A and B are shown apart, each in its own frame.
Chain A
């Protein structure tokens, strides 16, 4: 990531040379900046704050004298704090530095709990949208957040270990709440994706080290596989009531689903084969 991709950091300065803010003003300024998508540091001596890095800085305060001035070729700007216009001040500085804007995308994407993940590749095999991939060590990882369908937690439903979280989901354990045995035993946490893949996936997983190379090698009828995947998605929607209709409606064409499913299965097969080597 280039330096220009670092977000603007706004610092509320209340130390020597500046008049401390009234608490109402401090609250108003911080809340306004946060709602505008800006991170804020309220500095002081009583507790540490994260150190300066290469992020562009806008330092705002109620200065006792003139507002400090810095050379224009630095990534630091000073300003006089006005709670009514603080977000506009920050936005102008963000634009000047070319720092990234945030929002309004809802950050919806899977977060893997590697304490629980067994690297079984079911999520990779299930996802039609290429969200998952593997790293150089053939470990599952989230690679394409932006491909994830907002409000759809389907992949977390197929994870046998409840290792996939969506922190903005409404309920546990998908939202990151602790996982109980009953969660794992709950039928809705154990959507059997074997129907999608045309085989007894769970059985195969139990013996995957021996059978990894042949797991996906069976010939399958493409039409049947597609019908079964669609059936599974319908079942998911019925069981969980939380697969947004727009997600189901936005699924690719049947041919495209078949192509992506083949691709995802191949990635899963390759990753499992690599594990067994």
Chain B
């Protein structure tokens, strides 16, 4: 893999596989436009599931610097990552909400190189968050 251009946001797409709260036509259209764009991206079946398992790959997802995430509500996404001890970089993370935004809006936001941070700013930092809970027994 070649080194990325400096500062360009990475793209994460959540398929919300294990529930139907994201309209299927919206997520399909977003994924289609993402594939059509030719841009690199990371796609995960379900962020909730990764958070529930406190999957260490969530830390990998947040380690590439500025990030755009197509998922659901920014407040929920922020704390899903925090719950897995993988806090989002609040000043350089943008969450696009497939529950309420149109597919075209979400896709355009993902594909644009311009980052509009919108994760709620609050007291969470790695230090503020509680100690990670023990991983659930599998």
Contacts and interface: CB of A to CB of B under 8 A. Distances in A.
Interface string B12-35: 000111110100000010011001
Interface stretch (A168-176, A223-231, A248-256): A168-176
Nearest to B131: A135
B76 A142 contact: no
Contacts of B38: 20, 23, 44, 46
B42 A109 contact: no
Interface residues of A, number: 67
A23 B37 CA distance: 9
A6 interface: yes
B82 A39 contact: no
B75 to A, nearest CB: 5
Interface string A50-67: 110101000000000000
B60 A137 contact: no
A216 to B, nearest CB: 22
A167 interface: yes
Contacts of B18: 103-107, 168
A107 B35 contact: no
Interface of A: 1, 5-7, 9, 15, 20, 23, 26-27, 30-31, 33-35, 37-51, 53, 55, 100, 102-107, 109, 111-115, 133, 135-137, 139-146, 165, 167-170, 172, 175-178
- A-B pairs, top 10 by smallest CB distance, nearest first, are A176-B76, A115-B122, A48-B4, A176-B73, A44-B40, A107-B48, A45-B2, A135-B131, A27-B35, A167-B76
